[in-house]
Chains A and B, each alone.
Chain A
Amino acid sequence: MRYGETGYNLEIDLTRSNIERVSTNPEDSQLYLGGLGTNAKIMWDRVPPEVEAFSPDNLLIFAAGLLCGTPATGCNRTIVTTISPQTQLLVFSMMGGFWAPELKYAGYDKVILRGKSPKLVYLWIKDDKVEIRDASHLKGKGAIETAELICQELKEPKAQVAAIGMAGENRVYFASIEQGRSSASRGGIGAVMGDKGVKAIVVRGTKDIHLSRPAEFMELCNEAMDYIKFRNENPIPGVMPILAILGSPQEMKIHDEKWHTENFMWGNSRERRKGFWTEEIAKDWTQTMEKMRTRLISCYNCPMTCGATISPPGKPTYMMKCFSKLTYTMAAFSDLAFGLGIAQSATEHGVDGFSAPQVMAFALELLEAGILTKDDFPGMPEDSEGRFYWLLDHIVRREGIGDVLANGTYWAARQIGNGAEKYAHNNIKKQEQLPLKLSMLNPIYFLMYATGEKLNITQIEGQFPQAPFPTREEREAFVKDWFQVPDEKFKQYFLDWELRGEKSIPFYPTPEMCCDIVDWQERMHYIDDALGMCAGLSSFPLKPPYHIHNYPKLISSGVGLDMDEATLTEAAKRYRTLVRAINTRRGMRRKDEKPPANHWKKRFPELEKELLDTYYAFKGWNEQGIPTEETLRDLGLDYVYEEFVKRGVYSDNGDTPSQATPAVIDKEV
């Protein structure tokens, strides 16, 4: 018997309508844990670099994390993995909610889709019964609406539904997969689902999930819960409100948006509005939120209430979380009421709340610059809000200019030409990033932006404070109960970090220290992504309840794997390296690893080179960012090395798919 996991995957060939229940190898769990780790292994084994996102041979894997469905608070994430149509690299977007535990209770760890269905279908998984069902009546329906209709038609109100909207059906490169209060949004995985002809995957499970050593496991769970209560009552002083507490950024609870509205950029990541947050706006936005917000809600088995039910006047109710609260508002230079309203439509259509608003703002900039003309936008209203609705509608339908914009700013700019490229200025590896433009290079963030393969800063940062605290006393107070550090040296790094002078950015932390800091932060995210743990209780907030010291115990008592801090760190390094290997094999090289040129005003090319060189060496990658033979052999990834040699990867500086990349973009603004 398997503990924690079920030991079975569902393999579904959509071309042939074939469904198989396949048992998995327990050794893979020891080596790659589960979730992202085992997804990466499957992608390496079965999806060679010649396979494109919209090829029937591309896989779309929905994985429940290793500990999903166990009593571990907050462990509910579904890790969706495929090849992204936007970046053409491996994408592994995640969603919270209720889907992953339900899949476990139905008796499966993963659903692996391959092939393409000739007509639109949905999958219905109820314990041992799995069906491919016709979904032609759901074509064009919203993602949330689809979930409601399916639950009604199956008479299964307790089923959990992951669905795409029109954006996914029409293969928009930033289409999301929506699941009630959660979504897996980045990298266009919704487009791959649409390409496979799958409107939704519906799950209901009524089986048991077992624990290996229950008493030990429950003690760890109780400790975590006690610590959550402690942290709820004791926010961290000296940091902004969303970083002071646990949870996914508590955007639905916190009304004070001074930091976001004045430090993040408006429009197409262009304009910083100092002094925007007036008392009047604070009052107005607070009223808006309180009027539309019905209830604060949580994902499965989690008390954090990071999400909310939102009822915009005259529109259906939907659920929201996190920073989509402001992305539409700020891209359109509008107010919160507009943002919460259009997010309803965006959720039904199923688009990424980071990319979609930027793509729309980018289109309007091109219009203003005369690169696109009025004729490209027939019938578009004059007001900013109306224009955003018009653009959203045309993008998700791929109508007119919407068909071009639906490919995201990077590809759209190349299609439009005529100088449009310099307006697609906020991308890393072809994907739109958070709208941030800052002054002084931060060496830690430089490395995270450059080398992160999750392509979202919030998915790599977290454990180390974003900025130094002004006084020594404050720093000493902070490190006093900072037991989450993997090593005492991190406390010293932080104690010595000053706002100004010798020990300040960009030259402090030193490149060596930056390597430690980035590696620790990234490691915690990768562990979460294998376990299915929400980053909001682990890798994202400062001083979280789950950390490198209690994770090995949770894994060993829950799953029965032999695990300590060293073996867990090694396993995380193994599948992190495998993720890099997949992207290396797809052509990713050093030249792709750079933040947007205008992310910081003050840049330091020599320091940046040193940082990257040092970090690559620290990670065991060569000067091109390719894992070396020694690294691969140490991790037992000999099969990767052999493949690299066979394909001549070490002598190839990357032609596919990155030849058209940066240089051009990186000069502007």
Chain B
Amino acid sequence: MATEKKIIKAIKINADLCNGCRACEMICSAFHSLPMYSSNNPARARIRVVRHPLEDIYVPVYAGESVGAECAGRDKYIIDGKEYDECAFCRASCPSRDDFKEPDSGLPLRCDMCEGEDEPMCVKWCITDALTLEEREEEVEIVEPQEKLDIGLASLVETHGMQKIMDAVTRMSSLKDFK
């Protein structure tokens, strides 16, 4: 099987080094404002620091996919005697909470790793090194696109028979939408 090299980007979050300053939230919102840096507002950030100083809780969390519905149940972690907020570590923009949504429109926010920059802005501004960027190369299998198609068709043929598939392809090829 042929393989290729792919760069995987990961932000390493060392919560033990977080000083709770929220510069990451500020610069994230500034970078993503339009025009760039024209405004900032941590409530729009795609990162948030879960922060309870007296309990020594400092956890930077990034915005991931938005979900249409909340989970069937919620979770709550206790680690080394510290109790974290409900769903504290979850990256989803979710109906159950206000996090990772534009404060005015409610539209979901998602971390894009500040595409196009050398490193995400939150990493650049975190000079206490709670946030660092790790890039690693991984060998991944090259999957031929054709091969994927063959597999899919074979399973359709198995279900419907070759003739029906051929007819369907002929019919569809005459339709405008598929041209």
Interface residues of A (CB under 8 A from B): 69-71, 73, 98, 105, 144, 148, 157, 180-181, 205-211, 214-215, 217-218, 225, 228-229, 232, 294-303, 305, 309, 316-319
Residues of A within 8 A of B43 (CB): 105, 205-207
A/B interface sample: 20 pairs, CB < 8 A: A71-B30, A105-B43, A206-B43, A206-B103, A211-B38, A211-B39, A214-B36, A225-B125, A232-B127, A295-B56, A298-B128, A299-B21, A301-B21, A302-B21, A316-B54, A317-B55, A317-B56, A318-B54, A319-B53, A319-B54
B41 in complex: contacting residue of A207, A214, A217, A295, CB < 8 Å: A207
Residues of B within 8 A of A300 (CB): 21-22, 26
Contact A303 B23, beta carbon cutoff 8 Å: yes
CB distance from A239 to the nearest CB of B (A): 23
Residues of A within 8 A of B30 (CB): 71, 214, 218
B27 in complex: contacting residue of A71, A217, A232, CB < 8 Å: A71
B85 within 8 A of A: yes
B77 within 8 A of A: no
Residues of A within 8 A of B36 (CB): 214-215
Contact A303 B40, beta carbon cutoff 8 Å: no
Contact A206 B39, beta carbon cutoff 8 Å: no
CB distance from B83 to the nearest CB of A (A): 13
Contact A225 B56, beta carbon cutoff 8 Å: no
Contact B38 A214, beta carbon cutoff 8 Å: yes
CB distance from A438 to the nearest CB of B (A): 35
Residues of B within 8 A of A98 (CB): 22
Assuming A214-B35, A303-B128, is B40 touching A208 (CB within 8 A)?
A: yes
Leading 5 A-B pairs by shortest Cβ distance: A206-B43, A214-B37, A206-B103, A298-B21, A208-B39
How many A-B contacts if CB must be within 8 Å? 93
Assuming A207-B41, A225-B127, is B33 touching A305 (CB within 8 A)?
A: no
B173 within 8 A of A: no
CB distance from B47 to the nearest CB of A (A): 14
B96 within 8 A of A: no
- The answer for the CA separation of A586 and B22 in the assembled complex, in Å, is 42
Contact A210 B39, beta carbon cutoff 8 Å: yes
Given contacts A69-B40, A207-B43, A208-B44, 11 further A-B contacts (CB under 8 A): A71-B27, A206-B43, A208-B41, A210-B39, A214-B37, A218-B37, A300-B22, A301-B22, A303-B19, A309-B53, A309-B56
- The answer for the CA separation of A663 and B23 in the assembled complex, in Å, is 51
Contact A157 B85, beta carbon cutoff 8 Å: yes
- The answer for the CA separation of A425 and B30 in the assembled complex, in Å, is 51
B127 in complex: contacting residue of A181, A229, A316, CB < 8 Å: A229
CB distance from A346 to the nearest CB of B (A): 17
- The answer for the CA separation of A662 and B85 in the assembled complex, in Å, is 56
Residues of A within 8 A of B53 (CB): 180-181, 297, 309, 319
B64 within 8 A of A: no
Residues of A within 8 A of B26 (CB): 71, 300-301
Q: Which of B70-87 contact A (CB under 8 A)?
A: 85
Contact A309 B54, beta carbon cutoff 8 Å: yes
- The answer for the CA separation of A480 and B39 in the assembled complex, in Å, is 38
CB distance from A317 to the nearest CB of B (A): 5
Residues of A within 8 A of B27 (CB): 71
Assuming A71-B37, A296-B19, A302-B23, is B54 touching A148 (CB within 8 A)?
A: yes
Contact B19 A70, beta carbon cutoff 8 Å: no
B52 within 8 A of A: yes
- Of all chain A residues, the one with the shortest Cβ separation from B41 is A208
B95 within 8 A of A: no
Contact A211 B21, beta carbon cutoff 8 Å: no
Q: Which of B4-31 contact A (CB under 8 A)?
A: 19-23, 26-27, 30
- The answer for the CA separation of A374 and B130 in the assembled complex, in Å, is 55
- The answer for the CA separation of A98 and B19 in the assembled complex, in Å, is 13
A209 in complex: contacting residue of B41, B125, B127, CB < 8 Å: B41
